[in-house]
Structure 1
Amino acid sequence: MFKKSISYILILIAVWSIKAQETNIAYDIGEKYNDKHKYSNLLSIADDGNGGTVVVRSYFSGIVLKPKGYLIEHYDENLALLSEYNYKLKKSNFVEAYVKNGQVYLLFLEYNYSSLSYEYIVHRSPFTEFAFTKEVLLSIPSEIVQQPLDRNYYNRNFSKGFTTSVLFNDDKTAFAITSHFKRRKEHKHFIYVFDSSLRKLMEHDFSEEVEEKNYAFENIVFSDDLSNVYLVGKAYFKKKRFNATERKFQYELVRISKNDRDTQSFYTPGKFPEALKPIFKDKELLCIGFYADRKDNRYNGIAYFKLNPQSLSIESQKFNAFSQQFMLDKFGREEDQNIKNLVFKSMDVTDNGEILFNAEEYFTSNSVQANTSGGRVMVTRYHHNDIVSAKLNATGDMLWARNINKTEVTQGDGAYASYSAYTKDNDTYFFISTSAENPQQLSAERIMFKQGLSRNRNIFLIKLDAQGHMSYDKVIDDTDARLPLMVSKPLIDSGADELLFYAKRGSKKQLVQVAVK
């Protein structure tokens, strides 16, 4: 009987190995470990510099879940847990966590009642020998207000007297803090820039600009030497009167250095840019996003801008309309074809300069439901739906755009929903997690990935090749990986073509490493 069981296991391993080879995927599942904290959120997953991994989570407990502290886990290159540390810290207004320079950094925003100011405070410690220290990074005088930290960059509220936000670049080597406040008729806006070691790189008084406009910055990129920072966001006009066909804001790009600044607005009659993302392609500064033909946020295609990195003058711009094939991918034969709620996810540049652009249809909804005590509470649900992927050539013309139909909704940790994307050799791979055994066939050329009802999750790999042709396969079965993967927050190692996922349910946790061959 024992020999039969061993033979059966070997056959299963062989079958899965063949299946993985067919999809150019290999995976390694780490050991399961016990975890005392059932409720937690993944904040950061990073390379430790020696092939290992550092994971930072916040955890919650109580009848009404409240934040109680932070867990730091250190794994070796074989996915084995080396150490874990519980940093107990209550009543903290968390902003961001990252791992750099051999240390864990936790950034908070607190109000100091003695100095009547908001303080950005950093707690940091080496992850090899934990001993957290605390320092004030920035102090901003202000009266206390409700919700000073504005995480929603897309709908900022400037009427409450003080608002601040933090923007990191993609690899967490630097970040900017913006603060906007007003006292009676006085309006002030400052931008502070730091590197990951907390050295202040520059401080800029932006108050002159806010005499006419309020800025809600959404995305950021730095030059390689960190001497220039580029911020993109909405500029809301204060006094201008608008026609019915106009919007109350326009997108602008701001460049800041130690000694000067420049601003460029994106305004083309009849074209309304949305969700612009700045990116450097070698020495070229690009802004890529969506655009609408009307002001109602119904997207019509991909917007492309090439700018001079110093003066910010626009050297070329293109508006690529979505093709009929894309509309068929998304809607089939439906007559109501409105594209909206698209949020930028990732962007890659191929060896020959082509650009792969990925986004997701994301929105929230609210409803009232009964709680355990017989009362009624407002519940927010987070919807992660269709994937949009587009490819532009080196000069900004759209080669193709594809829509991958997907529907997911969650009330809790969004790390399990959404997707992650990885590009190799002109192919783009999308990893999604679903309880469904197979996608739903909508028509001969359209499929739908649904969330499913089971607690266990399958990992599907969707591939778009260089011409935009789609294929898919189930690469990790729910009987093999019993814990659901946080597919939207991987640690990506581009040099090794590997993605590392954190997996957790209840009192169990593990790492899963996936290699793209």
Structure 2
Amino acid sequence: MIKITTIILLFVLAIPSIVGQELSWSEEVNIRGKAKMRRFLSGDTSGFSAVVAQYKTFGDPEAIVEEFEFPEMKSVNSYTARTTEGDLETLVAIGGKTYAVILQNEPSNNETQAFVRLARNPTSPLHQVGAISYIRANQKGTFNFIESIDHSKLLVVETPPYEKYKMEEFTFNMYDTTFDKLWEKKIKLPYLDQEFTIVQNKVDRDGNVFLLTAYKSLVSKQSKPRGLPIKNYTVLIYNKEQNRLKEFNISLKDKWVSGVNMEFNHAGDLMVGGFYNETSENGISGTFYLVVDKTSLGVKKKSLNPFTETFLSGFPMNKKERLESKLEDFYFDHFLIAEDGSAFFTAEQYYVRTTSYFDQRTGVTNYTYYYHYNDIIVVKMDAESNILWTQRVPKKQVTTNDNGDFSGYAAIPYGGGLKILFNDNPKNLEDPNAIKPRAMNNPQRSRAVVLSLGSKGDIQKKLLFDESEQETILQPKIQRQIGDHTLLLFTEKSRAFRFLKLVFSD
């Protein structure tokens, strides 16, 4: 298991705005040895937490926790989250506290048990939150731990060990902030275990469970080439008060769903949106979405929107893409809800190319990995879920053997439009609307930029940091929105970490 480091920091330095924004920096965080930022664990007006893996020469990474709070900039806790009871699976934030999730194997009764306890106190009581029985030691089943959107509840999903030809089943266990069980529900579905996958999961404030799932089936020999795989996406909603499981099949008739995501709007309804293709091959031809009423669990609105020729003409497409009117290698990233109820969903073109050569002197084959993070597609909908516009954001990032850590982007709705942050080639500031921008292929020489998409889809690009501030490099994929106008970001350079609070203003 990967053990993790949690750091909760205060901001200690505020920098004047360049583009209608206030930047607040943390002090440098230096962790000995090799360390890697994982994700923001929690964040609000009182502070935030971040998960970092600290690697050792031997054994699993250690979990070190540093806690700070606003506004005194005072350290409140510093500790190592040690576990002698079992394996540290993850950390969760429930009721304003950080808990360690620990898995214990009990071979005497063929059972894997899940426990939680305060991460900062190894002697605090263990609370059991799940157990899975198994027959074979190499197939023990899996747990999934999901915090509700307000961090007031913890859902533990128990999935039993895989069995060939067995239908999919799992158990929901919902716990409150003291880890008293609120309810339990066993779910059995008419899908083969081996072909069913939970893609995304959410728990709302009331403890209702939302699962985005995929079922990989084979098309019949009569209709399509034998063995051609098609993914069918389904939304499963369990409402505890109604004791009701509702299933929505995202069926687009003769089209193929190639990317999907879900989010709650301000009314608490579930919005599901994504991209589709006209064939089962890689690519996207348009967008779709549906809105599910939070009370009736009925579909309030549904729409299918093909890309127009005008929109597609703005992309540098190859011959195959032009002939088939589609875009390849785009992946759904974010479903963002603005304060006025409007919504954005975004996708980024991403792929990895690999080259290799064999060294005859050493007998070793060497590999080079090229990480491509290119254009972004932005779709805007109004508060009634009508699509207003679809826009291409030109971007090109190609880096080598770095896992793409400094590529990608962050995004936040603002002023009827969208703010998009990424590392760019400085020469692209001269022409932000270039159809073919210059590639950012050296993060050390890149510049962090803010690209502003206006309410009508117009584009402006400016620097995020001024020249004197560019002493650290943005990792834009690590982000957390903590308010309508506030974004938490992470930067790194030479093993020194800095966190950034970014507040947009008029």
TM-score over 0.5 (shorter chain): yes
Whether 1:67 aligns to 2:49 is no
| 1:355 positional shift | 1.8
Q: Is the CA contact (8 Å cut-off) linking 1:122 and 1:135 kept in structure 2?
A: yes
Q: Among 392, 407, 413, which residue is 1:423 paired with? A: 413
Q: Among 258, 262, 268, which residue is 1:278 paired with? A: 262
Q: Is the CA contact (8 Å cut-off) linking 1:349 and 1:356 kept in structure 2?
A: yes
Q: TM-score under structure 2 normalisation?
A: 0.79
CA distance in 1, matches of 2:397, 2:310: 20
CA distance in 2, matches of 1:445, 1:455: 23
Structure 2 CA distance for partners of 1:295 and 1:180, relative to 1, 3 Å: farther
Which blocks of at least 5 consecutive residues in structure 2 are unaligned?
Answer: 1-14
| 1:294 positional shift | 1.4
Deviations 1:386-434 (A, max 9, x none): 3221112344442211222232446456554322111122121011134
| 1:238 positional shift | 7.5
Q: Among 186, 189, 201, which residue is 1:205 paired with? A: 186
Q: TM-score under structure 1 normalisation?
A: 0.78
Name the residue aligned to 1:472.
461
Q: Secondary structure at the match of 2:313?
A: helix
| 1:370 positional shift | 8.1
Name the residue aligned to 1:266.
250
Name the residue aligned to 1:194.
174
CA distance in 2, matches of 1:367, 1:191: 44
Q: Is the CA contact (8 Å cut-off) linking 2:116 and 2:128 kept in structure 1?
A: yes
Name the residue aligned to 1:151.
none
| 1:362 positional shift | 3.3
Across the aligned residues of Structure 1 and Structure 2, the Cα RMSD in angstroms comes to 3.9
CA distance in 1, matches of 2:245, 2:199: 18
CA distance in 1, matches of 2:398, 2:166: 45
Structure 2 CA distance for partners of 1:394 and 1:66, relative to 1, 3 Å: same
Name the residue aligned to 1:25.
21
Q: Secondary structure at the match of 2:341?
A: coil
Name the residue aligned to 1:140.
132
CA distance in 1, matches of 2:482, 2:339: 17
CA distance in 1, matches of 2:340, 2:273: 18
Name the residue aligned to 2:108.
114
Q: Secondary structure at the match of 2:188?
A: coil
Q: Secondary structure at the match of 1:191?
A: strand
| 1:317 positional shift | 2.1
Name the residue aligned to 2:303.
318
Deviations 1:28-87 (A, max 9, x none): 33333433233323333433x66233333111122xx75321122223436957253333
CA distance in 2, matches of 1:90, 1:43: 25
CA distance in 1, matches of 2:82, 2:249: 46
| 1:225 positional shift | 1.2
Structure 2 CA distance for partners of 1:515 and 1:410, relative to 1, 3 Å: farther
CA distance in 1, matches of 2:114, 2:278: 41
Amino acid at match of 2:56: S
Q: Among 249, 252, 255, which residue is 2:237 paired with? A: 255
CA distance in 1, matches of 2:401, 2:126: 33
Structure 2 CA distance for partners of 1:413 and 1:287, relative to 1, 3 Å: same
Matches within 5 A, 1:103-502: 103-107=97-101, 111-126=105-120, 134-144=126-136, 162=141, 165=144, 174-175=154-155, 177=157, 179-183=159-163, 186-187=166-167, 189-195=169-175, 197=177, 198-210=179-191, 214-226=195-207, 228-237=208-217, 243-244=223-224, 247-258=229-240, 259-281=243-265, 282-309=267-294, 312-331=297-316, 336-337=321-322, 338-364=326-352, 375-376=364-365, 383-404=372-393, 405-409=395-399, 411-412=401-402, 416-434=406-424, 436-439=425-428, 445-448=434-437, 450-453=439-442, 455=444, 457-477=446-466, 479-494=468-483, 497-502=485-490
**Percent identity of equivalent pairs:** 14
Deviations 1:297-339 (A, max 9, x none): 4211111123344564444321111233432333268663442
CA distance in 1, matches of 2:82, 2:353: 33
| 1:437 positional shift | 2.0
| 1:241 positional shift | 5.9
Q: Secondary structure at the match of 1:270?
A: coil
Q: Secondary structure at the match of 1:181?
A: coil
CA distance in 2, matches of 1:66, 1:410: 28
CA distance in 1, matches of 2:444, 2:136: 43
Name the residue aligned to 1:5.
none
Which blocks of at least 5 consecutive residues in structure 1 are unaligned?
Answer: 1-15, 149-160
